[in-house]
Chains A and B, each alone.
Chain A
């Protein structure tokens, strides 16, 4: 068996193949991100019985349901605090939040900033497709200014989140951004992040041709991929200004922060228990 086939078999063990076909549209980027995650996880040789996947609501929110591990499809915006409860109660579990930009940064924004501030030991895979896909393509907290969506028919007057800037400002020890074009870099980055501790954030710019691309001059998945390929460049020491995303503009990718040794909330609480029991 060649290594590709072997990897495929390993991946299928981690998927609920009895739930296929999945709900995602043809050309969607979420599957690419899930694939990268599964390959990184397999490569890490970590125990799948200790892996917990938590998703919120939305297209990316469906991810947890397809992964054959302990997995939760929670309420809109609440994947992070749900995961916090699991991790804090059972620090030996490997807890991954896999959700979308609207879920994590609009309705769930308060949980993101506070969980990052407390440095819970969670890996957050944030798929950013610039829109609310499940509900039909409304603008969200990451839609670039000027973009056309079903609720910004004259162009988006709103300003998008600069997610890496936000995460770094909160002290998150690992912050990276990739696109679905950067399959190998993304996979390596997830592998790397799985071996780090603390609140780790990986933003993935992903294509949604069905409801976003077609309103913004990128009607096909291929056109969206071309955009991600042509306009992205790697710069690990990018400034916060460079990390900003603009309408059909440049996308800076890379590992913007990777520091070790910051105690996690879970570690700090162990000390609290020691003090209380003295």
Chain B
């Protein structure tokens, strides 16, 4: 898009952010409240020489983008919680075979079909633990249409840099909310491309990691004759079904993210320097929390907010940094609350089952209770 100001929904910003980040392949299946991302991609990708395909289901969608990613393209799919539930087996495959991709999850009220058109934040744990086994992914969650665009560039960059699936969380409110947005000039967008092998095919072990624990990724069709398998594999990519191979591979898959966690963490510290109580919030919910912080401060209560932008790997050092009571305000019955409880002295959960964000007054009452 030409640089300048636009009036977009979160869904449109997610699609445009992806294109700006270099995404040129999208496979998806419609689901509220993410369908407008597919619609935008269907319109825009062929304009920029990209490819869009509507698949038969979410399982096929993620399988297609994993395949396409091996051709060297930056790839994405978008869905909501029910779709992520279906995709999870292949999210595990992408983590195991180290395939860069972005999955947008526009979270709606859950469980099951829940509240298709209304907000939920019930998929925060699913983003990290959805597939079987111990693995790490990266998950980001913006709170405005502008940030949905800007952060999408980071999402693709992380996926490429660490060869990992990135679960890009938005919510039903953000997906459908329209705001003014600024699209920066092309030169201001920093894009990271995945590392490629610098050695000829006969000397390349496709799963031999560099010092950063990330192996360079060849493109298929260029003579590397790669083999990628969801089975436990060695540096050649060959299945090796032993505890030793499992230890080496699974440890590295986790450590390549854990050891770079501080580079991946993004947290907004809002009026936290002097805070006596801190509210932890994410996404659309943080907009109400921000308002509640102002109300509390007018009453003389020094309240602040930690807005988690990186959800996974969990930015625990920001929680440890403040020795104050915490309130976790989330649209579920306690998810990130449990993570915060691992690192904080005193924590209270302010839950809402879904369909709406908290009213500022509800958050204010919780803040008063903590003082």
Chain A residues within CB distance 8 Å of chain B: 16, 19, 48-50, 52, 54, 64-65, 68-75, 77-78, 80-86, 88-90, 92-93, 110-111, 113-114, 265, 269, 272-273, 275-277
Contacts and interface: CB of A to CB of B under 8 A. Distances in A.
B230 A73 contact: yes
B225 interface: yes
A85 B225 contact: no
B47 interface: yes
Contacts of A54: 67
Nearest to A86: B67
A70 B56 contact: no
A90 B63 contact: no
A73 B228 contact: yes
Nearest to A23: B239
B205 interface: no
Given A70-B221, A85-B25, A277-B47, A111 B66 contact: no
A204 to B, nearest CB: 23
Given A49-B221, A113-B56, 13 more contacts: A54-B67, A64-B227, A70-B227, A73-B227, A75-B93, A78-B90, A81-B60, A81-B67, A84-B27, A84-B55, A85-B65, A89-B68, A114-B55
Given A65-B238, A65-B239, A74-B230, A49 B67 contact: no
Contacts of B25: 85, 88-89
A78 B59 contact: yes
A52 B226 CA distance: 10
B159 to A, nearest CB: 16
Interface string B130-170: 00000000000000000000000000000000000000000
Contacts of B55: 81, 84, 114
B46 A82 contact: no
A269 B27 CA distance: 14
B229 A73 contact: yes
A82 B56 contact: no
B60 A84 contact: yes
B71 A65 contact: no
A65 B227 contact: yes
Contacts of B185: none
A93 B63 contact: no
A115 to B, nearest CB: 8
Interface in B94-113: none
Contacts of A272: 46
A66 B17 CA distance: 40
Contacts of B53: 84, 88, 265, 269
Interface string B195-234: 0000000000000000000000000111111111111000
A85 B75 CA distance: 10
Given A54-B67, A74-B63, A114-B56, A269 B51 contact: yes
Contacts of B230: 73-75
B64 A50 contact: no
A92 B221 CA distance: 9
24 contacts: A52-B220, A64-B227, A65-B227, A70-B70, A70-B220, A71-B225, A71-B228, A72-B229, A73-B239, A75-B93, A78-B60, A81-B59, A83-B67, A84-B27, A84-B53, A86-B70, A88-B53, A89-B51, A89-B71, A89-B73, A90-B220, A93-B220, A114-B56, A277-B47
A47 to B, nearest CB: 9
With most chain B CB atoms within 10 A of its CB, the pick from A49, A69, A72, A84 is A72
B227 A71 contact: yes
A90 B47 CA distance: 18
With most chain B CB atoms within 10 A of its CB, the pick from A68, A78, A83 is A78
Nearest to A84: B64
Given A74-B93, A110-B56, A114-B56, A85 B46 contact: no
A85 B93 contact: no
Contacts of B224: 70
Contacts of B348: none
A50 B67 contact: no
